[in-house]
Amino acid sequence: MLSRFLCCALSVLSLGVSLDSSLVIADDGSDKPGLSMAVAAQKLIDVLPADQKQKLMYKYDDPERINWHFIPKDRNGIVLWDLNGEPKKVAEDLVKVGLSAAGHAKVLQVRSLEEVLYLFEAGEEDYRRNRRHPHKYHITIFGTPGPTGLWGWRFEGHHLSLNFSVQDGIVVSSTPEMFGANPALIDAGPGRQLRILSGREDIARQILKACNDEQKKKMWISETAPDDIRGAGAPQAVVEAAVGLSYGEMSPDQQKMLRDLLGEYLSAMPAQVVRDRMKAIDKSGMDDIRMAWWGESEVNKRHHYVIQGATFIVEYNNTQNEANHVHAIWRNVGGDFNLPVAK
């Protein structure tokens, strides 16, 4: 079971090549992507002047580490638009090594949408430019990066929150992991559409559409969608009893679609993170993973879904701006930020 999921999820990490689970390696060519993160983070520290370095660095256990959100706002850390030349390149390199090739491309696309919002939204130009900018994204480092020891870092701005803890070169926590898109759809005519998170919506809807009447009664919880994902800005996920249609109750085609959908979420992360997440899912079993849908079933209508297993929660919401504004998140039931939740 694990090998099948790894092949599905990892095939999109680079060059579209499926990998057997025994051959899984991280994007940096090792089994420890945290080593490349540490090198990139230390290089950033080294190239910054003292005043910017002070903004960049916190102790690992500082409360700032769990001060996360994905709304447009002022943040702590060093903001990309304050960097130029080598420091700017080094900062961008850190973000790149923290993700798969697909994940990095998605980050650049999310950031590019800030230019669209800058043009679309009302208000004075200075206000719009300060609020909407593809370089208004912050990097924060917690602790001392290195090949040994515990440290962490964050990359965050509007519709992005990526949070990592690294222990001895191994990524031990990568949640909360949040991607958003506004607009979710840019339609410039035939053959000129951009939907950054399309797979996360389309595959989920296909699973719903493939339900027979009995399955639909279990999966489709309500025709009214909640206004947003739960727990935004909270240090831990909102975990309630799982509802919806279980993997074990799905047809083989639906099961494949659910694996593909999980692959859409996993594809942003380095292979070590993907492998560890899938090992945890495989250990707890697939059959009890449940998927639930709220809202309407058609495109461009308000909708929301949750996929919940013993080790993770995926939550997706597209309700704002006439259902053209996506929030999607992967969280760890056992605890985000490398902070175990008391049982």
Along the chain (343 residues), what's the average pLDDT of each consecutive run of 10 residues? 48 34 39 92 98 98 98 96 97 97 97 96 92 97 98 98 97 98 95 95 98 98 98 97 98 98 97 96 97 97 98 98 97 98 80
* Distance (Å, whole) CA 223 – CA 243: 15
Q: What does the pLDDT read at residue 270? A: 95
Write out the H or E segment, with its range, that includes residue 326.
strand 326-332
Question: What's the token pair of residue 259?
Answer: 């694996």
Nearest to 141 by CA among 120, 123, 156: 156
Q: What does the pLDDT read at residue 17? A: 27
CB of 175 closer than 8 Å to CB of 331 = yes
How close are the terminal C-alpha atoms of the chain, in Å?
28
Type of residue numbered 316: Y
CB of 148 closer than 8 Å to CB of 84 = no
* Distance (Å, whole) CA 2 – CA 279: 7
Nearest to 34 by CA among 163, 191, 167: 167
Q: What does the pLDDT read at residue 32? A: 86
Q: Counting every residue, how long is the chain? A: 343
CB of 257 closer than 8 Å to CB of 203 = yes
Alpha carbon 260 to its chain centroid, in Å, reads 16
Side-chain half-sphere exposure of 318, counting CA atoms within 13 A: 28
Phi, psi (deg, nearest 5) at residue 73: -165, 170
Q: What does the pLDDT read at residue 265? A: 97
Radius of gyration over alpha carbons of the chain, in Å?
20
Q: What does the pLDDT read at residue 335? A: 98
202 in the Ramachandran plot: left (φ > 0), alpha (ψ -120 to 50) or beta? alpha
Q: What does the pLDDT read at residue 16? A: 32
CB of 56 closer than 8 Å to CB of 139 = yes
* Distance (Å, whole) CA 219 – CA 292: 5
Q: What does the pLDDT read at residue 342? A: 78
Q: What number of H helices and E strands is found in the chain?
A: 11, 15
The pTM assigned to this predicted structure is 0.92
Phi, psi (deg, nearest 5) at residue 54: -65, -35
Question: What's the token pair of residue 216?
Answer: 């639909």
Task: Please state at what angle helix 252-266 crosses helix 2-10, rounded to 10 degrees.
Answer: 50
